[in-house]
């Protein structure tokens, strides 16, 4: 029995199939953790969603910014949906779209398994958030995603402001929580996200730090697995494991076997078209 945390798939269905074959995934005994961004850019988002949905009783998923974007687009008019890229249009106009969207809305923003001894998020945690605080903040958004507040949530979730504060309320509060969980790479000690800083550590502006090494951050009782940061690449240290290794940009798709003894499994990602610019979110 094994649990494998898998980095950002981003619609790279063929790479995901290769990875499952390499780890010899057995749904009878194994579990999969997905760090978010199942969709977009890879050209096979529909196939990816269908596969992960078929494995849903064997999987744990946290939503990434691209997954939330798909949900937001699903709530728009058809004319607006037809303006997005062909990869997402294939999802939006598939015969099983309603099933896939309903299932995606049930997924988490943050996951903690205290028995296994790991937590998982797509992007990061605010400096002052302990794991229990992060769980509580995630539940605020998850309740809206799953309930009657869905349309209002996705309509108002875009924007870089405000910075997180426990005093926030309403759409501003939910937007700030979503930004932390799904868009954070760097931030200040006070928790303001450095949205403009997207490269490797050492390239950021003064005053912002990788979220996992901000001075004075709250103690995290368990190691945290995360994705989102392809320019960081594989990162294992400081109590965190970054496993977005750029599969959609011609890098690798990574599975980290979780347990007392960590094991790394990787396969080649997709071959992107020539001159494809590397994405930043």
What is the chain's pLDDT, residue by residue, as a tens digit (281 residues)? 899 999 999 999 999 999 999 999 999 999 999 999 999 999 999 999 999 999 999 999 999 999 999 999 999 999 999 999 999 999 999 999 999 999 999 999 999 999 999 999 999 999 999 999 999 999 999 999 999 999 999 999 999 999 999 999 999 999 999 999 999 999 999 999 999 999 999 999 999 999 999 999 999 999 999 999 999 999 999 999 999 999 999 999 999 999 889 999 999 999 876 655 555 67
Distance, in Å, from the CA atom of 23 to the CA atom of 255, rounded to the nearest integer, reads: 8
CATH at residue 26: 3.60.21.10
Asked, for residue 163, whether it belongs to a domain, the answer is: yes
Peptide bond into 162 cis (omega under 30): yes
Nearest to 34 by CA among 60, 13, 66, 65: 60
Asked, for residue 192, whether it belongs to a domain, the answer is: yes
Asked, for residue 193, whether it belongs to a domain, the answer is: yes
Residue with tokens 């969709």: 39
Number of domains present in the structure of the chain = 1
Distance, in Å, from the CA atom of 207 to the CA atom of 264, rounded to the nearest integer, reads: 33
Nearest to 198 by CA among 248, 161, 267, 244: 244
Asked, for residue 130, whether it belongs to a domain, the answer is: yes
Q: State which residues form the domain around 178.
A: 3-268
Rg (CA), the chain: 18
Nearest to 179 by CA among 278, 70, 64: 64
Asked, for residue 23, whether it belongs to a domain, the answer is: yes
Asked, for residue 94, whether it belongs to a domain, the answer is: yes
181 close to 121: Cβ distance less than 8 angstroms: yes
């Amino acid at each position: 029995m094994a649990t494998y945390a898998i980095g950002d798939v981003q619609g790279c269905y063929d790479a995901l199939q290769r990875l499952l074959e390499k780890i010899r995934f057995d749904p009878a005994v194994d579990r999969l953790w997905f760090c978010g961004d199942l969709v977009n850019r890879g050209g096979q988002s529909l196939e990816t969603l269908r596969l992960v949905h078929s494995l849903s009783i064997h999987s744990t998923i946290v939503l990434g910014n691209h997954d939330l974007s798909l949900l937001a687009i699903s709530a728009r008019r058809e004319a607006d949906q037809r303006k997005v890229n062909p990869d997402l249009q294939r999802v939006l106009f598939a015969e099983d779209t309603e099933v896939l969207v309903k299932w995606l809305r049930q997924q988490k923003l943050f996951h903690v398994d205290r028995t296994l001894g790991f937590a998982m998020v797509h992007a990061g945690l605010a400096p002052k958030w302990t794991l229990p605080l992060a769980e509580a903040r995630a539940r605020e958004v998850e309740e809206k995603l799953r309930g009657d507040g869905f349309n209002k949530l996705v309509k108002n979730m875009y924007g870089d402001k405000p910075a997180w504060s426990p005093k926030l309320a309403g759409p501003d509060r939910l937007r700030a929580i979503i930004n932390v969980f799904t868009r954070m790479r760097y931030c200040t000690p006070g928790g303001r996200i450095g949205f403009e800083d997207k490269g490797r550590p050492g390239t950021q502006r003064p005053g912002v730090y990788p979220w996992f090494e901000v001075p004075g951050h709250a103690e995290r009782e368990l190691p945290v697995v995360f994705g989102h940061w392809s320019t960081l690449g594989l990162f294992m240290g400081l109590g965190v494991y970054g496993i977005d290794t750029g599969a959609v940009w011609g890098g690798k798709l990574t599975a980290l076997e979780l347990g007392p003894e960590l094991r790394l499994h990787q396969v080649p990602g997709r071959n992107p078209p020539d001159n494809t610019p590397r994405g930043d979110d």
